[in-house]
């Protein structure tokens, strides 16, 4: 089964002459498939190539305007998959946009730190971006309905929502796919593009992060546990975020004396990847981390929802030195919305200090009873 993606029905609207459409996202979330769905039904001439193709690299890296015109003139669309594999691809695409303005260009990449660095400056004003996540609850709802989400919630918490996971025939196939994804692809961009050889340290770091979902992470403590410097830990975490493995969230404060802002929290872009990292696909009734899975799931699904809606709030958590906390703060246009995630039925009231300090803010508990409206 193919899940229709958010951008699919109006994909052509994102293509403009004189602009490069850049599609970011984690590996294996369906970026290439999304483009292929469009190109398969497109009637004009299309060139499709991969960034690792030697001939394509040679033409693009030549910087020769005449050679590029000879190679690409006559095509209506040029599609370059995994564009970050081409050195100085941004400058080359700028030449194509400026000197072959009749073509529309699509570039995909799984590594935001590499693609943004190579594309951002040369293509200023010439680039439109599209961020694709693992399949969102809103996309699943549009394909199979909200009731199916409620019935399959445990599966999403344990196995996540990568396209091939959703279409796997049984749990064993889901586990095999996620383990393969972890072993073969998860760290590939960092190891190849940053020339980092110690993959064991990176995986050990991810395991430690996986057990601290919803808790502040101390870089010094991680460094001590891993035998690494604080600066190395910070660098690795930054790279893991830029390759769409984890999401960093800082503490919110406008009253530094009482509110904690020093350390950050981290969430995985997909629950299934988190569970693959710790090699635990046990059902919820045999686990003691269902609260972590719930918080990770809600945080990332909310982020997907807002991103696809064209909203880009700042995300924080809120915590005081005496232990009062709120799991998620959305800040947009000066408005603060607080959300507390509860897997069980325990009722909690908003912290009094939060209400006093931010009287115009909102506060809502998100539970199994009301989460659909939060993520759809």
pLDDT, mean of residues 320-332: 95
Measured CA to CA, the distance from residue 330 to residue 340 in angstroms comes to: 12
Residue whose entry in the numeric block shows the structure tokens 């196995």: 159
pLDDT at 108 over 60: yes
User: Contact, 304 vs 284, CB < 8 A?
Assistant: no
pLDDT at 125 over 60: yes
Token pair of 344 as six digits: 């069980």
- Split into its structural domains, the chain has a count of 2
The residue that leads in pLDDT, 210 or 261, is 210
pLDDT above 90 as % of the chain: 76
Tens digits of per-residue pLDDT, 131-154? Answer: 999 999 999 999 999 999 999 999
DSSP code, position 167: T
Answer yes or no: do 163 and 278 share one domain: yes
pLDDT of residue 117: 64
Tens digits of per-residue pLDDT, 13-55? Answer: 999 988 899 998 999 999 999 999 999 999 999 999 999 999 9
Distance, CA of 126 to chain centre: 23
Answer yes or no: do 177 and 309 share one domain: yes
Q: Is residue 1 part of a domain?
A: no
pLDDT at 112 over 90: no
Structural domain boundaries enclosing 115: 11-131
Answer yes or no: do 163 and 93 share one domain: no
Answer yes or no: do 172 and 312 share one domain: yes
Which pLDDT band holds residue 113 (cuts at 50, 70, 90)?
low
Answer yes or no: do 29 and 49 share one domain: yes
Answer yes or no: do 52 and 116 share one domain: yes
Tens digits of per-residue pLDDT, 147-192? Answer: 999 999 999 999 999 999 999 999 999 999 999 999 988 888 777 7
Q: Is residue 340 part of a domain?
A: yes
User: Among the three residues 109, 131, 153, which one is the final residue of a domain in this structure?
Assistant: 131
**CB burial of residue 205 (10 Å; 0-12, 13-18, 19+):** buried
Which pLDDT band holds residue 84 (cuts at 50, 70, 90)?
confident
Answer yes or no: do 31 and 113 share one domain: yes
pLDDT of residue 86: 86
pLDDT of residue 348: 85
User: Contact, 245 vs 230, CB < 8 A?
Assistant: no
Ramachandran quadrant class, 215 (left: phi over 0; alpha: psi -120 to 50; beta: rest):
beta
Token pair of 161 as six digits: 């929502």
User: Among the three residues 131, 148, 163, which one is the final residue of a domain in this structure?
Assistant: 131
pLDDT of residue 63: 85
pLDDT at 74 over 80: yes
Answer yes or no: do 118 and 145 share one domain: no
DSSP string, 43-107: -S-EEEEETT-HHHHHHHHH--HHHHHHHHTT-SEEEEETGGGSTTHHHHHHHHHHH-TTSEEEE
User: Among the three residues 83, 115, 131, which one is the final residue of a domain in this structure?
Assistant: 131
Q: Is residue 178 part of a domain?
A: yes
Measured CA to CA, the distance from residue 230 to residue 315 in angstroms comes to: 24
Answer yes or no: do 168 and 200 share one domain: yes
User: 167: Cβ–Cβ under 8 A, 6 or more apart, which residues?
Assistant: 1
Answer yes or no: do 332 and 208 share one domain: yes
pLDDT of residue 150: 97
pLDDT of residue 225: 97
Q: Is residue 356 part of a domain?
A: yes
Answer yes or no: do 235 and 344 share one domain: yes
pLDDT of residue 195: 67
pLDDT of residue 121: 76
Which pLDDT band holds residue 116 (cuts at 50, 70, 90)?
low
Q: Which of 95-104, 177-186, 343-352 has the lowest mean pLDDT?
A: 343-352
Token pair of 273 as six digits: 């990847």
Answer yes or no: do 222 and 266 share one domain: yes
Q: Characterize 344-364 residue by residue with b for buried, 16 or more Cβ atoms within 10 angstroms of its Cβ, and e for exposed.
A: eeeeeebbeebeebbeebebe
Q: Residue 36: give its domain's CATH number.
A: 3.40.50.300
pLDDT, mean of residues 325-351: 93
Q: Residue 206: give its domain's CATH number.
A: 1.10.10.10
Q: Is residue 5 part of a domain?
A: no
pTM of the predicted model as reported, rounded to 2 decimal places: 0.93
Which pLDDT band holds residue 283 (cuts at 50, 70, 90)?
very high
The vertex-277 CA angle with 276 and 279, nearest 5°, equals 55
């Amino acid at each position: 089964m193919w899940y229709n993606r958010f951008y699919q029905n109006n994909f052509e609207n994102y293509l403009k002459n004189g602009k490069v459409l850049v599609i970011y996202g984690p590996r294996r979330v369906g970026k290439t498939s999304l483009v292929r769905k469009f190109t398969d039904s497109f009637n004009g001439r299309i060139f499709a190539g991969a960034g690792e193709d030697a001939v394509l690299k040679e033409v693009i890296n030549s910087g020769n305007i005449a050679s590029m015109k000879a190679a690409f003139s006559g095509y209506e669309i040029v599609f370059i998959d995994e564009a970050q594999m081409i050195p100085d691809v941004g400058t080359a695409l700028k030449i194509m946009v400026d000197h072959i303005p009749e073509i529309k260009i699509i570039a995909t990449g799984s590594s935001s730190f590499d693609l943004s660095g190579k594309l951002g400056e040369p293509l200023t004003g010439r680039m439109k971006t599209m961020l694709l996540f693992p399949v969102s609850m809103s996309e699943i709802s549009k394909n199979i309905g909200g009731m199916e989400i409620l019935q399959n919630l445990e599966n999403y918490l344990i196995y996540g929502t990568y396209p091939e996971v959703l279409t796997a025939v049984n749990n064993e196939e889901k586990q095999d796919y996620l383990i393969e994804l972890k072993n073969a692809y998860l760290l590939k961009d960092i190891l190849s593009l940053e020339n980092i050889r110690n993959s064991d340290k990176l995986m050990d770091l991810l395991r430690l992060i996986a057990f601290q979902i919803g808790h502040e992470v101390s870089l010094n403590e991680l460094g001590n546990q891993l035998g690494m410097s604080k600066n190395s830990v910070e660098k690795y975490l930054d790279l893991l975020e830029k390759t769409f493995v984890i999401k960093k969230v800082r503490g919110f404060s406008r009253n530094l004396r009482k509110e904690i802002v020093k350390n950050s929290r981290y969430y995985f872009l997909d629950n299934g990847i988190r569970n693959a990292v710790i090699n635990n696909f046990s059902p919820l009734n045999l686990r003691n981390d269902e609260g972590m899975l719930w918080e990770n799931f809600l945080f990332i699904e909310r982020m997907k929802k807002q991103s696809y809606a064209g909203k880009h709030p700042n995300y924080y958590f809120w915590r005081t030195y005496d232990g009062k906390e709120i799991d998620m703060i959305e800040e947009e246009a000066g408005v603060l919305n607080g959300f507390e995630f509860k897997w069980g039925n325990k009722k909690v009231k908003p912290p009094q200090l939060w209400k006093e300090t931010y009287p115009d803010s909102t506060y809502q508990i998100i539970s199994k009873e009301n989460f659909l409206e939060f993520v759809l």
